[in-house]
Structure 1
Amino acid sequence: MAEPTGPANTIDDVKLPTAHPHPLVRALFSFWAPTRKSMRGWALASVVVNAGIAVTGAGVRVTGSGLGCPTWPRCTPDSFIPVAHPETSMLNMLVEFGNRLLTFLVLAVGVACVLAAMRMAPRRTSLVRLAWLQPAGILAQALWGGLVVNTMLNPFTVGMHFLISIGLIAACWALYARSGEGDGPARRVTHRDIRRLGHVLLASVFALLVVGVGVSGTGPHSGDERASRFDLDIEAVARLHADLVYVVVGLTFALLFALHVTNSSPRAARRAALALLGVELAQGVIGYTQYFLAVPAALVLLHVLGSTLVWIAALRVVTSLRTRAQVPAPSPTEAPAAV
């Protein structure tokens, strides 16, 4: 028997994917050996994919593909994938099925966030809890999607489907913000009343989204000709929505003005408020244009994208008005004795 020619390989000789020379491979496997920067990267990715699936869900609706897969969890009564069906066009099936497949991408990013939060050293309980909200929320969202199909696109269930996505985006943004901070108590970085104004602004944006859901559930583009609609006056609901837009824009301008006249306000907060105002103005242009053009489908899709961006920008404003300090690690003399 031949003698070994060298020492045996050890675990230190094994090249992990996180040490791969290609930056894309390292990024994809960064959840396994996370840093503070990569943790924030995965959290930001979760914001993007959750916002993306909210917009593609609107795309399903405006293309009339809401019941492209008429059953759930199967696409058709006897198949999980699109097959020829006498009552549904194959194009509508593919659009709806493609949106269902995107759920797995969103779930994969959520799981990566959980793994990154759990493998961080030292582990931060706050990040782990926020990360777990993602896969739990995504599974709840998937089950609610089944309810949407089974209720034949009832406008209440469709609207809640979007609002659940809004909640998930808030949880993802909270993870992104907290991963760049410490675990110390929250400390405001500007005047107390300015921070309160930011919270009022965020609540107003959420109210605007809720009323916007009512407008969508009353107007055209139901997702399928068999879907029901809210029995509301579309003109009255649209006016209420427009009135809330003025309230939100006014609060944003007030917040921006207060931040600029306060010398102690951080630049990040002023930039966040200015970005929010810009997104709101662009969204207003889209909203009025679609109103005067009788709500074309393409502008509805842009309006949903704008609504999602307004929400993210408002979340950014609120988190820019406070910070959390790093909690110092215990010294060796303070560490608990080993048992």
Structure 2
Amino acid sequence: MNRLADRLTASAFHRLLWFPTGETVRRWALAAVVVNAGIAVTGAAVRLTGSGLGCPTWPRCTPDSFVPAAHDEHSSVNMAIEFGNRLLTFLVLAVAVACVVAAVRLGRSKGERGRPVLVRLAALQPIGVLVQALWGGLVVRTLLNPVTVSVHFFLSIGMIAASYALFARAGEGDEPVTPLVRRDIRALGFALAAAVVVLVVAGVVVTGTGPHSGDEAASRFGFDIESVVRLHTDVAYVVVGLTFALMFALRVTDAPGRAMRAALALLGVELAQGVIGYVQYFLAVPALLVGVHVLGATLVWIATLRVVFLLRSRGPAGSAAAPDDLAGLRHAVV
């Protein structure tokens, strides 16, 4: 019975990977969104548990071993946590490779024309994993310098954006972009996305200034913590205000319901994130709440991307642009 179940599972996996549909690519892309968000949060957990240098070397864990080994200066728990996060890289890489294979194989089994834009977006995943892995080595070698740690998180944010773009594009056609709202409303959506990027940057600066460095040997930004927290809070108010403005504009212009619901969901995540931020501040930033706040930051980013993509359309999945439009489409992502 177990062998039969294993065969059925292997067969289903083979079909998902080698005979994909547009929906299959979307599923792999969604998996990429999840694992990239997950490794961003677990990376924060490494720092918050003081395990940032649990494996003091790279690519080895210790000077003489690729896996955790007894080390006088680092506890076995810290080493296990840091090494566990390194192992998650292989899961992210596996999903990234699956995205590429599915995008390349899309339509091939039926003799149909593939979709180069999906292949390009999917290719960003393994490239990003490689860059992240190499940069992770730099983070360790610089003893968790807050600049390198910050860039490490920004790379994860970029990976999430690329995987979400793949998810969105796999579920629509290749027609030229058709705005579903007025031009000024779409511009407001882009302004909101830019403000969220600034919010994430400000949040990373707060984190790099705060008490959770990841290791006693790690340095910190030399900013005044009260000042950077105030700046982060002010940017958060701007983001919430822009979200309210977008919701109001969508409402009064009778915009598509999906876009309105996406904006409402974004507002809900922002408000929850704000509550967590205030609670962690008044409780002297306990590590657990900081980790939850990092998770909230990734969810705000994902929800923002969803709003932006729902403000326009490229036609239903399976639709194709006229031959004259194909050259321009080769360089299009959104």
Q: Same fold (TM over 0.5)?
A: yes
- 3-state secondary structure, aligned to 2:313: strand
- 3-state secondary structure, aligned to 1:198: helix
Shift of 1:22: 3.9
1:157-172 paired onto structure 2 within 5 Å: 157-172=148-163
CA distance in 1, matches of 2:213, 2:18: 43
Match of 2:202 in 1: 211
Match of 1:49 in 2: 35
- 3-state secondary structure, aligned to 2:18: coil
Match of 2:120 in 1: 129
1:159-238 paired onto structure 2 within 5 Å: 159-238=150-229
Q: Does structure 1 residue 144 correspond to structure 2 residue 135?
A: yes
User: What is the number of residues matched between the two proteins?
Assistant: 310
Letter in 2 for 1:142: A
Q: Does structure 1 residue 96 correspond to structure 2 residue 86?
A: no
CA distance in 2, matches of 1:191, 1:329: 25
Shift of 1:324: 0.4
Q: Does structure 1 residue 327 correspond to structure 2 residue 320?
A: yes
Pick closer, same or farther for the CA change 1:143–1:181 going to 2, 3 Å.
same
Shift of 1:304: 0.1
Match of 2:262 in 1: 272
Letter in 2 for 1:194: I
Match of 2:279 in 1: 289
Pick closer, same or farther for the CA change 1:197–1:29 going to 2, 3 Å.
same
Deviation per CA, 1:167-224: give whole Å up to 9, x if none. Answer: 0100000000000011111111011111000000000000000011100000011000
Shift of 1:271: 0.8
Shift of 1:27: 4.4
Match of 2:239 in 1: 248
Shift of 1:113: 0.3
Pick closer, same or farther for the CA change 1:179–1:199 going to 2, 3 Å.
same
1:62-81 paired onto structure 2 within 5 Å: 62-81=48-67
Deviation per CA, 1:45-68: give whole Å up to 9, x if none. Answer: 000000000000000010000000
CA distance in 2, matches of 1:220, 1:60: 14
Contact kept? 2:247, 2:264, Cα under 8 Å: yes
CA distance in 2, matches of 1:37, 1:108: 19
CA distance in 2, matches of 1:252, 1:117: 34
CA distance in 1, matches of 2:10, 2:216: 44
- 3-state secondary structure, aligned to 1:31: helix
Deviation per CA, 1:84-111: give whole Å up to 9, x if none. Answer: 0011000000000000000000000000
TM-score, normalization by structure 1: 0.89
My pick for the range that moved more, 319-328 or 27-36, is 27-36
Any gaps of 5 or more consecutive residues in structure 2?
1-5, 108-112, 324-334
Say which structure is richer in helix.
2
Deviation per CA, 1:268-299: give whole Å up to 9, x if none. Answer: 10011000000000000000000000000000
CA distance in 2, matches of 1:280, 1:213: 17
Match of 2:331 in 1: none
Q: Alignment partner for residue 153 of structure 1, among 137, 141, 144?
A: 144
Q: Does structure 1 residue 315 correspond to structure 2 residue 301?
A: no
Higher Cα Rg, which structure: 1
Match of 1:4 in 2: none
CA distance in 2, matches of 1:270, 1:123: 33
- 3-state secondary structure, aligned to 1:30: helix
Shift of 1:24: 7.7
Letter in 1 for 2:275: V
Letter in 2 for 1:327: A
Pairwise CA RMSD: 1.4
CA distance in 2, matches of 1:123, 1:299: 45
Pick closer, same or farther for the CA change 1:242–1:65 going to 2, 3 Å.
same
- 3-state secondary structure, aligned to 1:211: helix
- 3-state secondary structure, aligned to 2:55: coil
Letter in 2 for 1:267: G
